[in-house]
Amino acid sequence: MPPSPRVLVSSEALEQRVAELAAELDRDYRDREPPLCIGLLKGSVFFLVDLLKRMETEVEIDFLQTSSYRAGTAPGEVWIRKDVEIPLRGRDILLIEDIVDTGHTLRTVLDLLAHRGARQVKLCALLDKAAAREVQVPIDYCGFTIENRFVVGYGLDHDERYRNLPYIGFLEEDEA
Ligand code: IMP
Ligand code: MG
């Protein structure tokens, strides 16, 4: 058994910050039409569920899955693996993402949503690896800004492992 990842953000800290974000979102979406919350698969799932359970605002939920690399494409090129099912035209969209790293994924998704005629798009990201950014994306709601290191848990994976860790951690070999 490999050692457990070291704790970077504990489950208690996650729970508290998620509750704060939910309260902020409730304030901002009060008296508006129910937002369409779009989770980016698969990493955002744990965050999305915890966040939306904490919110009192009525919401709709859909999912989008991107993939950031395919043989024959340039690094940084993003393609849609699974599309949303609910029409986006005229909708207020709250994109829910696990982590913003280089920003290529979000830039592509934000452009797509605008192209599909969304009325408004806000981005809620649990983690911001600000130092790794290559293209700018506005993060409207951010859980934590973290150092530029590879993290796992609470939805985030390393080769599909560690997603169900209840905290955000980093692997020993990646120790800075
Ligand atoms: P970006 O397009 O470089 O911003 O990458 C975004 C995606 O890469 C995220 O949605 C994650 O799926 C994945 N990713 C980036 N950094 C990490 C990390 O530290 N751990 C796990 N997945 C990551
Ligand atoms: Mg992701």
In degrees and rounded to multiples of 5, residue 22 shows phi and psi of -60, -40
> CATH second-level architecture of 6-170?
3-Layer(aba) Sandwich (3.40)
Q: Is the CB of 99 under 6 A from ligand 1?
A: yes
Residue 73 pLDDT: 61
- For residue 68, the ligand 1 atom closest to its alpha carbon is 2
- Whether 83 sits among the annotated catalytic residues: the reply is no
Catalytic residue among 101, 128, 157, 159: 101
CA of 104 to the centre of ligand 1 (A): 10
Answer for the pair 48, 35: CB distance below 8 angstroms, yes or no: no
Q: What is the pLDDT of residues 52-62, one digit of tens each?
A: 999 999 999 99
From the CA of 153, which ligand is nearest? 1
Please give the average per-residue pLDDT across 81-96, as a whole number.
97
Render the burial of 28-59: b for 16+ CB within 10 Å, e for the rest. ebeeeeebbbbbbbbbbbbbbebbbebbebee
Structure tokens belonging to residue 124: 């809620």
Three-state SS string over 62-93 comes to EEEEEECCCCCCCCCCCEEEECCCCCCCCCEE
Q: Is the CB of 125 under 6 A from ligand 1?
A: no
Using CA atoms, how far apart are residues 46 and 118, in angstroms rounded to an integer? 25
Residue 74 pLDDT: 67
Q: Domain extents for the chain?
A: 6-170
Has residue 66 got a pLDDT over 80? Answer: yes
Give the rounded distance of the alpha carbon of 166 from its chain centre. 16
Confidence band (pLDDT; 50, 70, 90) for 48? very high
